């Protein structure tokens, strides 16, 4: 990041003025460095939802929302989805470049040998109802990992940060599969070190003691692709939550649990589950126009789930890849006609010709098609956001590491504009209305 110029801020009607540095990065908009604004002019900036605010400097992921560009460490998502795999993408996000053969094998081993969880973790599940939402279980059990590692974890030691990252990337899928098995009333399945990351996850989700389970290469490739597409996404709500929690020096397991909690919301990672519910509620394609009219009616508060994005004002590149993958997976699974896919494609066609969506630059996002693939893979809707959390854990830990290692980072503490009551004296009960 380097100084590329300056901007002058003047308060009209007064002679208060200050000059602030403009800073430029490798790609994307420059930023106005406002760290001296309050001390110079006694004012804050106001940006609810931080839509126009750079909270940090990062080298991990770049998004151009207008062009529909997404890159992990400079590599376009389209190329990574086609040519790489999830464990290699994990290395890339954490270390900054693609590994050589030896580096990849060592990284794969480092992650693989942390996939098991402490046997006592199993006992946390007994407190949950069998019909508990698996994201509630994920928040609780991933946060509980802190209880196993808090005492011997010095986050200022790079090696210990790396081991915490390995543990999280490795154990989150194991816990996710345990949450699924618990809901089914089936026994937990131990990880298999000989399997790939995606295959091992599918193995733990689907194996039962009564018969052997062979992971289908089609499902393994589809799951791996879904994990790659969801791995990181710049400073989204859940990543910003992880960074904010991490800025206090909190245990990384607690920080990732905070990220899981934020991801759960239907406006964020919960959207994939909401898309399937929306399509099921609409029922048949002939009812789509009426639903679209409801979405356009501001009083209905109905959103077209899986559409729109805070940053993408063009197609979410992940949605395009997900749509292609959808067709591939359904074809390879021999599913000739999937009514939900027909519904989704008709919904996309109608929405993209309607001025309400065109004028607001609302396009399908990553969540619009992902649920249809997961459903075709036999995964229940309640597990969709859990799978998003499994994938995003590497993005969260990479961003958490980067934040800890950034010398300019300090505890996150936004300010506000206060519009509440002015100073007033306490009123005894007898004097109140």
> From residue 378, how far is each of 176, 357, 402 by CA, in Å?
15, 32, 36
Nearer to ligand SDX, 139 or 215 (CB): 139
Is 309 a known active-site residue?
A: yes
Reduce the secondary structure of 188-226 to three states and give it as a string: CCCCCCCCCHHHHHHHHHHCECCECCCCCHHHHHHHHHH
Smallest gap from residue 203 Cβ to ligand SDX (A)? 26
Q: Does 224 bind ligand SDX (CB under 6 A)?
A: no
Burial of 300 (0-12, 13-18, 19+ CB in 10 A): exposed
Quick one: 66 exposed, middle or buried, by C-beta within 10 A (0-12, 13-18, 19+)? exposed
Site for ligand SDX in 236-295 (CB under 6 A): 236, 267-269, 271, 295
Per annotation, catalytic residue among 85, 133, 309, 316 = 309
- Selected range binding ligand SDX among 23-31, 336-344, 362-370, 378-386, rule: CB under 6 A: 362-370
Burial of residue 102, with CB atoms counted within 10 A of its CB: 0-12 exposed, 13-18 middle, 19 or more buried:
exposed
Total residues interacting with ligand SDX, rule: CB under 6 A: 21
Query: Which of 274, 285, 266 lies closest to 338, judged by CA?
Result: 285
Residue 317 within binding range of ligand SDX, rule CB under 6 A:
no
Closest C-alpha to 110, from 176, 169, 175, 156:
169
Residues 193-222 that bind ligand SDX (CB under 6 A): none
Q: Does 58 bind ligand SDX (CB under 6 A)?
A: no
Catalytically annotated residue among 337, 367, 406, 425: 367
**Nearer to ligand SDX among residue 206 and residue 235 (C-beta):** 235
| Residue 367 engages ligand SDX in binding (rule: CB under 6 A) | yes
Q: Is 367 a catalytic residue?
A: yes
Beta bridge mates, 211: 208
**Residue 308 three-state SS:** coil
Is 303 or 327 the residue whose CB approaches ligand SDX more closely? 303
Q: Are 225 and 377 in contact (CB under 8 A)?
A: no
Instruction: By CB under 6 A, name the one of 140, 173, 259, 306 that touches ligand SDX.
Output: 306
Which residue sits closest to ligand SDX, CB atoms considered? 308
Least distance to ligand SDX, CB of residue 318, Å: 7
- 310 scored as a contact of ligand SDX (CB under 6 A): yes
| Side-chain-facing half-sphere of 280: CA atoms under 13 Å | 10
Buried b (16+ CB within 10 A) or exposed e, 282-298: beeeeebeebbeebeee
C-beta closer to ligand SDX: residue 137 or 304: 304
Query: Does 303 help bind ligand SDX (rule: CB under 6 A)?
Result: yes
For ligand SDX, which is the closer residue by CB, 157 or 293?
293
Interaction of residue 360 with ligand SDX, rule CB under 6 A:
yes
Structure tokens given for 35: 């760290």
Question: Is the Cβ of residue 310 or residue 327 nearer to ligand SDX in the bound state?
Answer: 310
The neighbour count for residue 366, using CB atoms within 10 Å, is 25
Q: Give catalytic residue positions.
A: 309, 367
Binding positions for ligand SDX, rule: CB under 6 A: 233, 236, 267-269, 271, 295, 303-311, 360, 362, 365-367
């Amino acid at each position: 990041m380097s100084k590329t110029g300056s901007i002058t801020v003047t308060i009209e009607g007064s002679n208060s003025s200050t000059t602030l540095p403009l800073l430029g990065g490798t790609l994307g908009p420059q930023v106005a460095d406002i760290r001296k604004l309050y001390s110079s002019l006694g004012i804050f900036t106001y940006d609810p939802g931080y839509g126009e605010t750079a909270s940090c400097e990062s080298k991990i992921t770049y998004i151009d929302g207008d062009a529909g560009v997404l890159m992990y460490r400079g590599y376009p998502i389209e190329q990574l989805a086609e040519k790489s795999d999830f464990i290699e993408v994990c290395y890339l996000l954490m270390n900054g470049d693609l590994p050589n053969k030896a580096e990849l094998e060592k990284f794969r081993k480092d992650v693989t040998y942390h996939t098991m969880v402490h046997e006592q973790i199993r006992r946390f599940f007994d407190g949950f109802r069998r019909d508990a939402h698996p994201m509630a279980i994920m928040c609780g059990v991933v946060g509980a990992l802190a209880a196993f590692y808090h005492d011997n974890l010095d986050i200022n030691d790079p090696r210990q940060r790396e081991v915490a990252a390995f543990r999280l990337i490795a154990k989150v899928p194991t816990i996710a599969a345990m949450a699924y098995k618990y809901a089914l009333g089936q026994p937990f399945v131990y990880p298999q070190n000989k399997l790939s990351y995606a295959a091992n996850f599918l193995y733990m989700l689907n194996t039962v003691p009564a018969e052997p389970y062979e992971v289908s290469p089609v499902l393994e490739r589809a799951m791996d692709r879904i994990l790659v597409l969801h791995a990181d996404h710049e400073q989204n709500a859940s990543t910003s939550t992880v960074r904010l929690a991490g800025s206090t020096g909190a245990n990384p397991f607690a920080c990732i649990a905070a990220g899981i909690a934020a991801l759960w919301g239907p406006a964020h990672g919960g959207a994939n589950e909401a898309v399937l519910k929306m399509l099921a509620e609409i029922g048949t394609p002939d009812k789509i126009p009426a639903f679209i009219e409801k979405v356009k009616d501001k009083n209905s508060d109905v959103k077209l789930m899986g559409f729109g994005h805070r940053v993408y004002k063009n197609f979410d590149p992940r949605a395009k890849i997900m749509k292609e993958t959808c067709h591939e997976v359904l074809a390879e699974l021999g599913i000739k006609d999937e009514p939900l896919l027909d519904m989704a494609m008709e919904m996309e066609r109608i929405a993209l010709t309607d001025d309400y969506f065109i004028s607001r630059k609302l396009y399908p996002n990553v969540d619009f098609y992902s649920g249809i693939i997961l459903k075709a893979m036999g995964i229940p809707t309640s597990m969709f956001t859990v799978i998003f959390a499994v994938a995003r854990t590497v993005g969260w830990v990479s961003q958490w590491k980067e934040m800890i290692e950034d010398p300019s980072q300090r505890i996150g503490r936004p300010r506000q504009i206060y519009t509440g009551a002015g100073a007033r004296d306490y009123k005894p009960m007898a004097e109140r209305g």
